[in-house]
Amino acid sequence: MFNRLRSDGISWIILIGTLLILLEVSFYDGGVLVFLSIAAFCIYIGRKKLPSTVGKILLWFGIISLAVNIFNTVAFKFLLFAILLFIIVRFADSKKHPKYINPTIKETFTHTSEPLVMKKSALQNEWFGPKRTPEDVYEWNDINIQGVIGDSVIDIGNTVLPKGTSVVSIRNILGNIEILIPYDVEVSVHHSVLAGSIEVFEEVEPKAINQSLYYQTPGYDTAVQRVKIVTSMWIGDLEVKRI
């Protein structure tokens, strides 16, 4: 019953928040959308012109403008109030109807000690700033990173790939991704982006808007060594090239 109430509460919050956004946009005659679009455009242009001074100014102007516009909307204020109210109601319910858990242990298998080896990845998650694989030789481990703002450079030419499929997974909000692939390695690329450009070898998509694209070299399925690249970003460029 309480799970049902919780789901219904979240649904109502989302529904009312959406209606408030529509009403606010209608009331201001689309002014909110115009300001949000200008802020997003400044972020995109500023990111393209980094590290120049103009690029930095446009980028931070867009980020600050976007935050101010969102914080000033009635929908955002309602969302904060609704979340706070929802937490208070859930806390009160938990006090009135505490949930008791009686643990039961079932011996369905023979416990054996299985050794595990922890390996450190060549890259770690970073909120802000560039991420790059070592410029000298490094040991390969699958790459799975995410960040908010910053460029990523993956140079697979400085490592030895094992047999089978090696994975590179990168998720980012703002920033460019550059991946360097040796000529003898087969590749598949699955890329999702809201706004940016895509260049995979000879294939170029200069203006990719809200697209999800997949590329694959001819010998990928039968290759002994191959690299699977999965990237996702809001705004930024992807470049995959041979070295």
pLDDT class for 18, splitting at 50, 70, 90?
low
pLDDT score for 214: 92
Q: Of 210, 215, 216, 181, which Cα lies nearest the Cα of 196?
A: 210
**pTM for this predicted structure:** 0.54
Cis peptide before 103 (omega within 30 of 0): no
User: DSSP of 32-100, one letter per residue?
Assistant: HHHHHHHHHHHHHHHHHHTTSHHHHHHHHHHHHHHHHHHHTSHHHHHHHHHHHHHHHHHHHHHHHSPPP
pLDDT score for 25: 59
Q: How far is CA 166 from CA 116, 221, 232, in A?
A: 20, 13, 18
Q: How far is CA 236 from CA 161, 164, 188, in A?
A: 27, 30, 20
pLDDT score for 92: 67
Q: Are 153 and 133 in contact (CB under 8 A)?
A: yes
The residue that leads in pLDDT, 44 or 242, is: 242
Q: What is the mean pLDDT of residues 171-198?
A: 90
pLDDT class for 1, splitting at 50, 70, 90?
very low
Above 80 in pLDDT, residue 96? no
pLDDT score for 15: 58
Above 90 in pLDDT, residue 231? yes
Q: What is the pLDDT of residues 203-226, one digit of tens each?
A: 888 888 888 899 999 999 888 889
pLDDT class for 74, splitting at 50, 70, 90?
low
pLDDT score for 173: 86
**Backbone phi and psi for residue 76, each to the nearest 5 degrees, phi listed first:** -65, -40
Domain extent listing, the chain: 2-96, 126-242
Q: What is the mean pLDDT of residues 153-161?
A: 88
Number of residues that this document lists for the chain:
243
Q: What is the pLDDT of residues 127-152, one digit of tens each?
A: 777 888 888 888 888 888 888 888 88
The residue type of 72 is N
